[in-house]
Amino acid sequence: MPSVSWDFGMVDTDWIAFPVCKAVEEADWSVGALRNEGSYWRQKNWVRWGTSGTINYFTVSAFRSAVHARSRTKGVEEGSENVIAWDATFSTRDGLVERVVELPGETIKLTIKRDSDGHRHTWTVPKDKTVRYCPRSKVGRCQVIAASVRPLLTARHPCSMSFPPGM
């Protein structure tokens, strides 16, 4: 099996941020011309993106130590890139983890009670992912709640929104 090289100037202690994004503004743009017997037409859909919910943080070493779920090479037109994917389960609500139950076989049930109205939702998580929160833990919308890669807990690592002096 070929090995994957991670030498992109990143070290094990570097952090990687994974926001979930949604479109906040879209605009269509086009230009065209008809000359003689030929035509020219260009069209673009401009999208402004914004973060939605929790931004998940991981260390480079967490990704290096976890086995990825799949990989593929894509792109021909503008070069190519390797895509490596790790599966994860994201919370769809702000809430409190009520219970985590291991079932016989290959699954875990994780129940979160939504803050706004107390509605409960239960995720079925395959055992190849590790549930990252225990009962009575607070979780946010779009937060990774189960994955093979361990996220940093954002409560312990808040961002100061500034760089240290001299950077």
80-101: pLDDT as tens digits: 777 777 888 999 999 999 998 8
Whether residue 161 is predicted with pLDDT greater than 60 in this model: the reply is no
This prediction has a pTM of 0.69
> String of b and e for 13-26 (b: at least 16 CB within 10 Å)?
eeeeebeeeeeeee
Share of the chain above pLDDT 90, in %: 22
Half-sphere exposure of 119 (CA within 13 A, CB side): 6
Per-residue pLDDT tens for 123-137? 998 888 888 888 888
Q: Given the DSSP bridges, would you call strands 56-59 and 151-152 parallel, antiparallel or unpaired?
A: antiparallel
Domain limits, the chain: 15-35+42-152
Radius of gyration of the chain (CA): 21
